[in-house]
Amino acid sequence: MNSEKGFVLIEFVIALPLVLMLLYGLSQSTFTIFSTAKSQAADYVLEVEAQDALTRIVEDLRAASSVEIKKRFGDKDIYTLIINYHAIRYNTIVDAGRIVDIIDTRVYRVSNSYKLQAKRKDDNGNFNPMTGGNFFGDTVITSLQYSKLDEKVLRIELEMESLATGQSIKISTAVYMPACEKIEFLSL
């Protein structure tokens, strides 16, 4: 009986370090897999937010009747975009048999925390966030520039950075605005 008890103790002393090494290896592998997945998710969020922000701006610009671009004092690469366009709504006013021209406005700006925000003129001054604050990876805008290529063509360049991974993305496009009457660059 005594020899059997010693044998179990020797097995336990030999097996314990092996089990601990196995658990350590599994935990390190799991940590590596999850950290890689998190950084891939953060990079995906960065790309999707940049594409989505640019797409929304382009869609509004295509319907623009006039565009104002305001440079914020002190910011070299951050601009506010004010898009005016004609809108027909369900409550459109009809005066003497004709539809009264309603001008709607959409404003895109970068907040002090470098998140893109948008609002309609009639939103009581409330801006809605378009970028940043994602669970998988927060993003900031490092550059948002506009340049006039023609009377009805505006070039947009957007650069964003992921705060989770430090990766950045830079995308640009040119937008033809067939209904645009004027493009103005102003300073705030």
**Which residues neighbour 124 within 8 Å (Cβ) at sequence distance 6 or greater?**
none
Query: Residue 111 — φ and ψ, nearest 5°?
Result: -70, 175
Per the prediction, the chain carries an average pLDDT of: 82
Which of 89-103, 116-130, 158-172 is the most confident on average? 158-172
Give residue 186's pLDDT: 81
Ramachandran class of 53: left when φ > 0, alpha when ψ lies in -120 to 50, beta otherwise:
alpha
Measure the CA–CA gap between 37 and 122, rounded to whole angstroms: 41
In this structure, of 44-58, 100-114, 135-149, the range with the lowest mean pLDDT score is 100-114
Burial 9-42 (b: 16+ CB within 10 A, else e): eeeeeeeeeeeeeeeeeeeeeeeeeeeeeebebb
Q: Greater confidence, 175 or 14?
A: 175
